[in-house]
A and B are shown apart, each in its own frame.
Chain A
Amino acid sequence: MSGLRVLVPIKRVLDYTLKPRINAAQTAVENSALKHSMNPFDELSIEEAVRLRERKVPIDEITVFTAGPPKSQDMLRTAMALGADKGIHVRIEKGPELEPLGVAKLLKKVVEEQKSDLVILGKQSIDDDAGQTGQMLAGLLGWPQATQASKVEITDKTVTVIKEVDGGVETVKANLPMIITTDLRLNEPRYASLPNIMKAKKKPLEKKTLEDYGLDVEPRLKTIKVTEPPPRKGGVKVDDVDGMIGKLKELGAL
Chain B
Amino acid sequence: MFSVARKSVLRQARTQLRLSQPVTVPQYTSYSKLLSTLALLEQKDGKLSNSSLVAISAGTKLGGPITAFVAGSGAKSVAEEAAKVKGIEKIVYVENASYDRGLPENYAPLLIDNIKKGGYTHILAGHSAFGKNVMPRVAALLDSQMISDIIAIDSEDTFVRPIYAGNAILTVQSSDSTKLITVRGTAFPAPETDGGAAAIEEGSDPKAESPTEWVSEDLAKSDRPDLGSADKVVSGGRGLKSKEEFDRLIPPLADALGAAIGASRAAVDSGFADNSLQVGQTGKNVAPQLYLCAGISGAIQHLAGMKDSKVIAAINKDADAPIFQVADVGLVGDLFEKVPELTEKLKSQ
> Is B170 an interface residue, CB under 8 A from the partner?
yes
Q: Which residues of A contact B219 (CB under 8 A)?
A: 167-169
With known contacts A139-B140, A235-B330, A245-B345, A146–B171 Cβ distance under 8 A: no
B342 touches A244 (CB 8 A): yes
B8 CB to nearest A CB, Å: 15
Min CB–CB distance A152 → chain B (angstroms): 13
> What interface size band does chain B fall in?
35 or more
A129-B163, A139-B138, A245-B345 known; A168+B108 contact, CB < 8 A: no
The answer, yes or no, to whether A55 is at the interface (CB within 8 Å) is: no
Residues of A within 8 A of B244 (CB): none
CB contacts (< 8 Å) of B98 on chain A: these are none
Known A135-B140, A174-B213: A235·B329 in contact at CB below 8 Å: yes
The distance from the CB of B101 to the nearest CB of chain A, in whole angstroms, is 8
Closest B residue by C-beta to A234? B325
Interface residues of A in 1-41 (CB under 8 A from B): 14, 16-17, 19-20, 22, 29
Report the minimal beta-carbon distance from A135 to chain B, rounded to whole angstroms: 4
Q: What 0/1 pattern do residues 257 to 284 of B give for CB contact below 8 A with A?
A: 1000000010011000011100001101
Q: Which residue of A160, A168, A220, A251 contacts B145 across the interface (Cβ within 8 Å)?
A: A220
Instruction: Give complex CA distance A47, B333 in Å.
Output: 40
A142 and B139 alpha carbons, distance in the complex (Å): 13
Residues of chain A with a CB closer than 8 A to B212's CB: 144-146, 172-174
CB–CB B214/A124 < 8 A: no
| Cβ of A75 under 8 Å from chain B | no
Of the candidates B165, B171, B332, the one whose C-beta lies within 8 Å of that of A237 is B332
Give the residues in chain B near A61, CB-CB below 8 Å.
none
When the two chains form their complex, are residues B136 and A136 in contact, meaning their CB atoms are under 8 A apart? yes
B324: which of A134, A219, A237, A240 is its contact (CB, 8 Å)? A237
* A202 sits at the interface (CB 8 A): no
> Which B residues are CB-close (under 8 A) to A167?
219-220, 276
CB-defined contacts of B215 to chain A, threshold 8 Å: 160, 171-173
**Cα(A166)–Cα(B311), bound, Å:** 25
Best-surrounded residue of B103, B130, B167, B319 (most CB of chain A within 10 A): B167
The answer to whether A245 touches B342, judged by C-beta atoms less than 8 angstroms apart, is yes
A: which residues have CB within 8 A of B? 14, 16-17, 19-20, 22, 29, 99-101, 104, 123-124, 126-140, 143-148, 150, 160, 164-175, 183-185, 219-229, 232-245, 247-248, 251-254
16 new A-B pairs (CB below 8 Å) besides A19-B164, A241-B331? A101-B146, A126-B281, A129-B161, A135-B104, A135-B132, A136-B139, A137-B140, A139-B137, A166-B284, A224-B158, A226-B163, A232-B326, A237-B319, A238-B329, A244-B329, A247-B328
Q: List 15 A–B pairs whose Cβ atoms lie within 8 Å, in order of A's numbering.
A: A22-B168, A29-B168, A129-B163, A129-B164, A132-B139, A139-B136, A144-B105, A147-B132, A147-B133, A160-B215, A170-B218, A184-B282, A224-B172, A244-B315, A248-B311
